């Protein structure tokens, strides 16, 4: 019997396992994940801001797959892939042989080599870092009553991508409640967002982006565009000759793929590998790379698609179908991606959205939060089952 090893139980990896079991492939499936749970990475900013608890965005993967006779779950950390020997090396266990590999390892924080970013910024890349960022935020705000240091009430968010903007929306929603709880004056609170690019949310139409910016500005956020970060010091973010003092520095400038990619000798850039049109890699047709470690060219313009939960799930479906075909002696098919749109929340009660379903819809305001919740619930439903979706509320 062939062995398929799947690395990572994020959106892509868990979806592949589910689709392969539905296809009833004649193969042993081994899922390797660092943690015993799956977490909704698109909701980490809510945990970091304190509007959700870790239990709200996680579920245990072991009972989910326990009844699948041909699926084994290994909780361990992948350290390297020996591509020539077809082995996956683990931190604690013995190496795993594979006939086919689905590499769906996730993302890591990108610092772009900026001095002090690792030491002084709080990234939001997994449950542990999101919880750490929340604890630091709350303890620093609470400390103002003792310290009377205004920088305890200053927060700098580095970067203005999706995670940054959605975090800001949750943050400004929660700050008034924290002010009452910890007894600090809201008028002294200062929230800065520093972005190297000249525009905020350029993936949206200008009218939607402008609405989002104005909404957050009304809530107290000050945006600094075309402002590259040159250094992060204890208590300050520096852009050339300008210093932004703050005792809470959230680092959300971007992500790259897992370091395992570079450590394993893949031809990569930022730990992402450009895949063939069927999601395999040219030199090793026994491997599929999907999710954050893959780079998929858009056939229409040649640019790489951004890595999102939406494309990860689509890749997983395509990879599982191609694997099932190969196991049955068939051929693979090209991966075709049709984006359904983009949604950006601005806290529990607002957001912007550009939806391409039954026409093109531009949405803003409170109705977007309903759309966002529907998307999150659907993702959990597709990965797990109705019970898990209901328990996540």
Q: Report the distance separating Cα 59 and Cα 64, nearest Å.
A: 9
Return phi, psi of residue 295, to 5°. Answer: -130, 120
Q: Do residues 89 and 82 lie in contact, with contact meaning Cβ atoms separated by under 8 Å?
A: yes
pLDDT at 359 over 70: no
User: How confident is the model over 7-42, as pLDDT tens digits?
Assistant: 999 989 999 998 999 999 999 999 999 999 999 998
Note the pLDDT of residue 130.
98
* Exposed e or buried b per residue across 36-65, where buried means at least 16 C-beta atoms within 10 angstroms of its C-beta: ebbbbbbbbbbbbbbbbeeeebbbebeebb
In this model, does residue 389 exceed pLDDT 60?
no
Mark whether 276 is an active-site residue: no
Assess whether pLDDT exceeds 90 at residue 357.
no
Q: Give the model confidence (pLDDT) of 250-284 as tens digits.
A: 999 999 999 999 999 999 999 999 999 999 999 99
pLDDT tens track for 113-135: 999 999 999 999 999 999 999 99
Cα separation values, 142 from 105, 128, 135, 176, 187, Å: 37, 21, 10, 13, 15
pLDDT surpassing 80 at residue 379: no
**What would the pLDDT profile of 218-251 be if each residue is shown by its tens digit?**
999 999 999 999 999 999 999 999 999 999 999 9
Cα distance between residue 139 and residue 273, in whole Å: 40
When pLDDT is averaged across residues 303-307 and rounded to a whole number, the result is: 89
Judged against a pLDDT cut of 90, whether residue 56 lies above it is answered with yes
b/e 262-288 (16+ beta carbons within 10 angstroms → b): eebebebeebbbbbbebbbbeeeeebb
Structure tokens at 152: 């305890």
- The set of residues, in sequence order, having a beta carbon less than 8 Å from that of 132 and lying 6+ positions away, is 122
How high is the mean pLDDT of the chain? Answer: 92
Which of 193, 126, 162 shows the shortest CA–CA distance to 346? 162
Token readout for 230 is 């040159």
In this prediction, residue 382 has a pLDDT band, given cuts at 50, 70 and 90, of low
Assess whether pLDDT exceeds 70 at residue 393.
no
Considering 108, 166, 170, 195, which one is annotated as catalytic? 166
- State yes or no: pLDDT of 152 exceeds 50: yes
CB contact at 8 A, 151 and 245: yes
For 307, residues 6+ apart whose C-beta sits below 8 A from its C-beta are 107, 255, 272, 291, 292, 294
Please check the confidence at residue 293 and state whether its pLDDT lies above 50: yes
Give whole-number Cα distances, 361 to 173, 352, 374, in Å: 26, 11, 16
- Between residues 87 and 353, the one the model is more confident about: 87
DSSP one-letter string for 127-179: HHHHHHHHHHHHHHHHHHHHH--GGGGEEEEE--SHHHHHHHHHHHHHHHHHH
- Contacts of residue 35, defined as CB under 8 A and 6 or more positions apart, other chains included, come to 9, 75, 127
Total-model pTM: 0.92
Region class of 226: left (phi > 0), else alpha (psi between -120 and 50), else beta: left
């Amino acid at each position: 019997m062939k062995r398929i090893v799947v690395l990572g139980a994020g959106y892509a990896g868990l979806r592949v396992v589910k689709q392969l079991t539905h296809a009833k492939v004649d193969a042993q499936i081994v899922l390797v994940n660092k943690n015993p749970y799956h977490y909704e990475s698109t909701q980490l900013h809510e945990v970091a801001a304190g509007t959700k608890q870790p239990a709200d965005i996680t579920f245990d993967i072991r009972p989910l797959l326990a009844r699948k006779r041909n699926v084994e779950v290994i909780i361990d950390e992948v350290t390297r892939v020996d591509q020539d020997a077809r082995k996956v090396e683990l931190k604690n266990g013995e190496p795993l042989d594979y006939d086919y590999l689905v590499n769906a390892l996730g993302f890591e924080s990108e610092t772009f080599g900026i001095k002090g970013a690792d030491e002084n910024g709080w990234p939001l890349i997994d449950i542990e870092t999101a919880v750490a960022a929340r604890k630091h935020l709350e303890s620093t705000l609470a400390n103002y009553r003792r310290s009377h240091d205004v920088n305890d009430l200053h927060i700098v968010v580095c970067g203005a991508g999706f995670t940054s903007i959605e975090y800001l929306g949750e943050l400004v929603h929660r700050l008034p409640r924290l002010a009452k709880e910890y007894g600090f004056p809201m008028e002294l609170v200062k929230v800065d967002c520093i972005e190297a690019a000249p525009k905020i949310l350029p993936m949206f139409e200008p009218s939607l982006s402008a609405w989002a910016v104005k909404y957050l500005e009304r809530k107290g956020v000050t945006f600094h565009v075309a402002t590259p970060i040159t250094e992060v010091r204890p208590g300050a973010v520096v852009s050339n000759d300008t210093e932004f003092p703050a005792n809470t520095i959230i680092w959300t400038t971007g992500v790259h793929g897992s370091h395992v990619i570079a450590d394993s000798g893949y031809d990569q850039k930022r730990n992402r590998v450009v895949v063939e049109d069927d999601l395999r890699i040219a030199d090793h047709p026994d491997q599929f790379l999907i999710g954050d470690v893959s780079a998929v060219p858009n056939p229409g313009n040649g640019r790489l698609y951004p890595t999102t939960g939406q494309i990860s799930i689509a890749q997983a479906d395509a990879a599982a179908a191609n694997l099932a075909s190969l196991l049955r002696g068939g051929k693979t098919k090209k991966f075709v991606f049709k984006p359904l749109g983009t949604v950006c929340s601005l806290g529990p009660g607002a957001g912007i959205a550009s939806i391409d379903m039954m026409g093109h819809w531009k949405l803003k305001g409170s109705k977007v939060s309903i759309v966002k919740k529907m998307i999150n619930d659907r993702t959990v439903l597709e990965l797990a089952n109705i019970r898990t979706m209901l328990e996540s509320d």
